[in-house]
Amino acid sequence: MREIIITTESGSDLPENLVKKYDIKVIPMHIVMDATSYADGTISVDKIYEYYNETKKIPTTSAVNVGEYIDFFNEIRAEHPDCVIMHLAYSSLASSTYQNAEIAIREFEDIYLIDTRNVSGGCTAHLAKAYEIIQAKKDTVTDYKALADEIESWNKKVFCSFIPGNLDYLKAGGRVSNAAYLGATLLRLKPLIEIVDGKLLASKKYRGSIEKFVDTYMEEYLAKHDVSRKCLYLMYSKGLSQVALDRMKENAIRFGFESYEYVMTGCVISCHSGPGAIGLAGCCE
């Protein structure tokens, strides 16, 4: 049977151990600082934070362009001439990556574009599920479009949310008003951002430090979403305390998960979440 290769963008924040385990090809999105564009992964997250501390400006992010996608897919096809490519894209409602990939694949045959309707750890959870489905069917599949449709259908069963670690990034990026920012800061409130059908929506707010409400956040997430106990994806941005990281792991074990994966946000997502963010992602059965 034909080889099936999974591809995605760097905004999926797929941990390196899973990139290797699933043999997934990742194309970088971009971060722009002072008119200089950097491919995600070529600079450290620390550089994002340093830039903000020095300038009080948030770096902007940009999508993979059409030409980059064409080069990316051509390189894969050069190494794997008869392969089928399943490209699980960063949410079409959060970036133009999906639209650019859609244009690029017109140049090719047997590349299937799948909208994860998610970002970061939500994409990671969907990618892991895609790998599982492909492994189960790769030796018997003949209808690759149907396989892609099945994989895409899981975007309704992946649930992801996060809590920014620093509201300064949301304010500087224009995502909260000055009044809302001031009120939240004075009251030490942090908004819960949920990914709902591809859109980032603010819902409830948590008060105090993340270390104090991590248990409540995880309990409420799991009460709302009956995700598979096979694996829980523990999202965080650099700067989250070891106390909170350890507590996330302890809770995953306490709630009966067979495994867990830490998913650290890369530069693209860190431009939105700021340092010390926390999040969860899981996939329902």
> Per-residue pLDDT tens for 162-195?
998 876 666 554 544 443 433 444 335 788 888 8
**Nearest Cα residue to 104 out of 81, 120, 126, 87:** 87
| pLDDT score of 58 | 87
| pLDDT score of 149 | 98
Strand order in the sheet with 260-264: 199-207, 189-196, 158-163, 278-283, 232-236, 260-264
DSSP characters over 181-210: HHHHHHTTEEEEEEEETTEEEEEEEEES-H
| pLDDT score of 100 | 97
> Per-residue pLDDT tens for 124-162?
999 999 999 999 999 999 999 999 999 999 999 999 999
Query: Strands 36-39 and 25-27: what pairing?
Result: unpaired
**Nearest Cα residue to 190 out of 278, 74, 281, 283:** 278
* In contact, 115 and 91? CB cutoff 8 Å: yes
Provide the residue ranges of all domains of the chain, joining segments of one domain with +.
4-29+64-153, 32-61, 158-283
**Nearest Cα residue to 263 out of 160, 123, 121, 161:** 121
* In contact, 261 and 282? CB cutoff 8 Å: no
| pLDDT score of 56 | 86
| pLDDT score of 197 | 85
- We find that the CATH architecture of domain 158-283 is 2-Layer Sandwich (3.30)
> Per-residue pLDDT tens for 200-218?
777 788 888 899 999 999 9
Q: What is the mean pLDDT of the chain?
A: 90
Q: Say if residue 198's pLDDT is above 70.
A: yes
| pLDDT score of 141 | 96
Of the candidate CATH numbers 3.40.50.300, 2.40.50.140, 3.40.50.10440, 3.30.565.10, the domain formed by 4-29+64-153 belongs to 3.40.50.10440
Q: Say if residue 121's pLDDT is above 70.
A: yes
| pLDDT score of 187 | 38
User: Distance (Å, rounded) from C-alpha 263 to C-alpha 95?
Assistant: 20
| pLDDT score of 172 | 54
Q: Do domains 4-29+64-153 and 158-283 have the same CATH topology?
A: no
| pLDDT score of 177 | 43
> Per-residue pLDDT tens for 51-88?
999 998 889 889 999 999 999 999 999 999 999 999 99
The 10 Å CB-count burial string (b at 16+, else e) for 256-284 is ebeebbebbbbbbbbbbbbbbbbbbbbbe
Say which residue the tokens 């620093």 belong to.
166
Angle at 87 between CA 68 and CA 118, to 5 degrees: 100
3-state secondary structure of 231: coil
> Per-residue pLDDT tens for 239-268?
999 999 999 999 999 999 999 999 999 999
| pLDDT score of 25 | 98
